[in-house]
Amino acid sequence: MRVTPGLTPITHPVLPSAQDGGARRLAPALWIDRVPRPGWLNMAIDRALLERAQGGERWLRLYAWDPPCLSFGRHEPAARRYDRGLVRALGLAVVRRPTGGRAVWHAGELTYALACPAAVLGSLREAYLEIHLVLRDAVRRLGIAAELASPAGPAPLDAGACFSGSAGGEVVAGGRKVVGSAQLREGGALLQHGSLLLEADQAVVRQVTRGSAPPDRSAPLGRLLDRRVTWDQAAAAVDATAGSRWGPLPRREHAPAGLLQRAETHGPRFRSPEWTWDGTTGG
């Protein structure tokens, strides 16, 4: 391994252990979704999981994308910021996420989505850090000396990939970002999803950005380790660290009953060009 920490760990709130009956008794149902799906359906499924969390359910979904897809953050001015003609010419799939943040190129990664009642993990900041502690430990389990970035304030919502800079609390290794996440709270529940880069970098985002863009500072794990990290290896690492911190996770290999049907009802929104490029649902 050729990555060294190089960063000062941040101070984070310590949640009670499962034995103490506190927030670590999250124990979400773990859905290892081994069917790579198009971007619009992945976002529709995550939206449906948020609805289930509003009813008290707790879910951790691990998934992938097919075809690779460019996603925009909920509040990004995508039509102004990115070259739609070039995106079309390159044949890129594109979607707008229900969560915030900046653009992400989803290819050769493991994506996670956690949906649960918001009160289980506390404030937005507390939840963000708690989830990233699990992801940091998963990256360490894979052989990289990862840390949480020092609290330097949120990354500016300017042009460029989500991975072009780090906000406080994000997972970094050797000064580079290895996990990018965004969170949405609605109806007393939270959805946080994000990307653990395994193979592909974020150069595509810079390629389609109008004008100048920050350099790509993403850090795919395979590049850091000089060896391939498979999706199954990454999923097993997240499974192990989440189970260790949050208690044993009930496991599912298939979608829960009715979830995909409910996700289909969100499909028109996430397939809509008006939603994707302008942030409106269209007609």
Catalytic, 116? Answer no
For every residue of 201-226, DSSP letters joined together read -SHHHHHHBSS--PPP-B--HHHHHT
DSSP character at residue 37 = B
Per the domain annotation, does 8 fall within a domain?
Answer: no
pLDDT for residue 175: 84
Q: What angle do CA 95, 98, 104 make, to 5 degrees?
A: 50
**Strand, helix or coil at 156?**
coil
Q: What angle do CA 157, 160, 165 make, to 5 degrees?
A: 70
Per the domain annotation, does 92 fall within a domain?
Answer: yes
Per the domain annotation, does 13 fall within a domain?
Answer: no
93-96 and 59-63: which strand pairing? unpaired
Per the domain annotation, does 11 fall within a domain?
Answer: no
Per the domain annotation, does 6 fall within a domain?
Answer: no
pLDDT for residue 91: 98
Structure token pair of residue 44: 């529709």
Q: Report which secondary-structure segment, H or E, holds 240.
A: helix 231-246
Q: Report which secondary-structure segment, H or E, holds 189.
A: strand 189-197
pLDDT for residue 282: 55
Per-residue pLDDT of the chain (283 residues; tens, 9 = 90+): 333 333 333 333 334 433 333 345 799 999 999 999 999 999 999 999 999 999 999 999 999 999 999 999 999 999 999 999 999 999 999 999 999 999 999 999 999 999 999 999 999 999 999 999 999 999 999 999 999 988 654 444 454 445 544 456 889 998 889 999 999 999 999 999 999 999 999 999 999 999 988 888 888 999 999 999 999 999 999 999 999 999 999 999 999 999 999 999 999 999 999 999 999 875 4
Per the domain annotation, does 125 fall within a domain?
Answer: yes
User: Side chain identity at 51, as an amino acid letter?
Assistant: E
Query: Which range of residues forms the domain containing residue 139?
Result: 26-277
Assign residue 180 the CATH number of its domain: 3.30.930.10
Per the domain annotation, does 201 fall within a domain?
Answer: yes
Catalytic residue, candidates 162, 189, 191, 200: 162
Residues 6+ apart with CB under 8 A from 79: 277, 278
Question: What whole-number distance in Å separates Cα of residue 205 and Cα of residue 224?
Answer: 20
pLDDT for residue 218: 86
How far separated are the first and last CA of the chain, in Å rounded?
52
Question: Rg of the Cα trace of the chain?
Answer: 18
For every residue of 47-98, DSSP letters joined together read HHHHHHHHTT--EEEEE-BSS-EEEE-TT--HHHHB-HHHHHHTT-EEEE-S
Per the domain annotation, does 179 fall within a domain?
Answer: yes
Q: Are 102 and 73 in contact (CB under 8 A)?
A: yes
pLDDT for residue 150: 80
**Strand, helix or coil at 44?**
helix
Domains identified in the chain, total number: 1
